[in-house]
Amino acid sequence: MGLKVLGFRGGVHPFHRKESTQDKAVERMQAPRLVYIPLQQHIGAPCEPLVKPGDRVKLGQKIGQPKGFVGAPIHASVSGVVKDIKQMPHPTMGQGIAIVLENDGKDELDESIVPRDIEALDVDELKGLIFEAGIVGMGGAAFPTHVKLSPPKDKKIDVVILNGAECEPYLTADHRLMLENPQDVVDGLKAIMKVLGVERGYIAIEDNKPDAIRTIAEATASMPGVEVVRLRTKYPQGAEKQLIYAVTGRQVPSGGLPMDVGVVVNNVGTAAAIARAIKTGIPLIERIVTVTGGGVAQPKNLSVRIGTLFKDVIDACGGLVGQPAKVVSGGPMMGIAQYTLEVPVIKGTSGILVLTKQEAETPDPGPCIRCGKCVDACPMRLMPLFISVYSLKGDYDNSEKLHAMDCIECGCCSYICPAKRPLVQSIRTAKRVITERKRRAAGAK
């Protein structure tokens, strides 16, 4: 482990607020009576349901098959009966179709589940297994992992980075995972490196988690080509492009992907999920969620079955304290505010924040005073103040000229703005309109 602490230019230093859960070991939450498993839990097309109401399902049974290459199957996270297949609230998409399962409490395993050995599997078998287990990126974006692990032939991958930065305030799920299950993380890395035929692997962790750095360093001590990297604690240190720059010094080209510079990045949680799917044969049906914020009675790191309602998760943490002002799926910098607690945990749900009125303050914007703090904070070196002005005026052509499409939506600009202007929010609008226009232009041809 090097003594060097690596970082990038820009970023901000929000408070951590990790104190209330960082020392709490992961508890397994008892599966609720009803789980709601959305057909879409990844970027790409939703799954086709493989079951119908009235069917009996077993734990780990595949209940949804993706329609395209970019997609991942979904599995029953409990054993029991299919109650319904219906439209319901979705944490990232507002609404979506979900399969409702009534838990019989038996956790009866599906016959397809057989433990395997990483060493014994060849590359294609590993890749197939990762797809079949429904593994998606667990840092929040939920990109299907088997797609990431299948780069086109002309892209030579030579580095794999496991992202253990967890730079979002409040969240401690990855931190606890690295402390409690270092072997899963390491085995997952091994599998990923094997699939990609890569010799160099890094596990990158922010230096505010010295215990995790130590634990992972011990677990990787005997692994050739694998190194633990200490990252400067700042937000968004875990953003893919910033992470790649900090670890390798390579810059992903504008509009490009990590594989363009020979790198594949996976979350530590994703790696652990891969290892567990191989070692136990059980697909991705459970994940660690940090449940925290001033509005929850007992903040916890909980291992939760996919499809458990936020309401049930919060109840497992002693319930609400007073009336919550805002409930966020994910971290406070990039997470998505929910309009109801009747929304299920999905594979990408890293945290449930229950914010009190005080914590959730949305300040009124004032005029831009041109302080330039957003320019200094932008990790992509954009000029948020100018892009935002154009966007708010509806002048999306000029927003695009100022590289709006390169915005990674980390929110540093809005966070730091003393006038509390909706910078990232308006840039997001510009990106959406520009993408829409391009799609229409392509369609017209």
Partner 1 sequence: MDSLIVSSSPHVYSKDTTVRIMRDVVLALLPAAAVAVYFFGVRAALIMAISVLSAVITEAVVQKLMKKPITVNDWSAAVTGLMLAFNLPPTVPLWLPVVGSIVAIALVKQAFGGLGHNFMNPALAARAILLAAWPVYMTTWAEPIHGIVNSAADAVSSATPLAILKGLEGTEAQLPPLWAIILGSTKGCLGETSDLALLLGAAYLLWRRVINWRIPFSFIGTVALLTWVLGPRGLFTGNAIYHIFSGGLILGAFFMATDYSSSPVTPKGQIIMGIGCGVITTIIRLYGGYPEGVTYSILLMNVATPLIDRFTMPRIYGEVRADV
Nearer to partner 1, 297 or 383 (CB): 383
Burial class (CB in 10 A: 0-12, 13-18, 19+), 151: middle
Instruction: Look up tokens 């049974």; give the residue.
Output: 61
Query: Which is nearer to partner 1, 213 or 246 (by Cβ)?
Result: 246
Do 235 and 14 meet the contact criterion of CB atoms below 8 Å apart? yes
Q: Give the nearest distance from C-beta 94 to partner 1 in angstroms.
A: 10
Of residues 60 and 91, the one with the C-beta less far from partner 1: 91
Of 316 and 334, CB closest to partner 1? 334
Which is nearer to partner 1, 302 or 416 (by Cβ)?
A: 416
Smallest gap from Cβ 359 to partner 1, in A, equals 7
**Shortest approach of partner 1 to residue 260 CB, angstroms?**
9
When the beta carbons of 183 and 362 are compared against partner 1, the nearer one is 362
Q: How far is the CB of 348 from partner 1 (least distance, A)?
A: 14
Q: Rounded to whole angstroms, how far apart are CA atoms 231 and 238?
A: 9
The least distance separating partner 1 from the CB of residue 303, rounded to whole angstroms, comes to 25
Identify which of residues 66 and 295 has a Cβ nearer to partner 1 in the complex.
295
- Those residues with Cβ within 8 angstroms of residue 335's Cβ, 6 or more apart along the chain or in another chain: 140, 168, 328, 329, 351, 353
CB of 428 to partner 1, least distance (A): 7
* For partner 1, the closer CB: 92 or 181: 92
Judged by beta carbon, residue 209 or residue 373, the one nearer partner 1 is 373
- Residue 330 C-beta: closest distance to partner 1, Å: 8
Rounded to the nearest whole angstrom, what is the least distance from the CB of residue 315 to partner 1 in the complex?
13
User: Which residue, among 47, 217, 221, has the nearest Cα to 134 in the 3D structure?
Assistant: 47
Distances from the Cα of 436 to the Cα of 264, 369, 443, angstroms: 28, 32, 11
Two structure tokens written together for 322: 């007073």
Minimal distance, residue 56 CB to partner 1, in Å: 33
> Which residues sit at the interface with partner 1, rule CB under 8 A?
12, 14-15, 169, 241, 245, 251-256, 323-328, 332-341, 353, 355, 359-363, 366-373, 375-376, 379-383, 385, 402-403, 406, 409, 411, 414-420, 422, 424-425, 428
d(CA 316, CA 344): 14
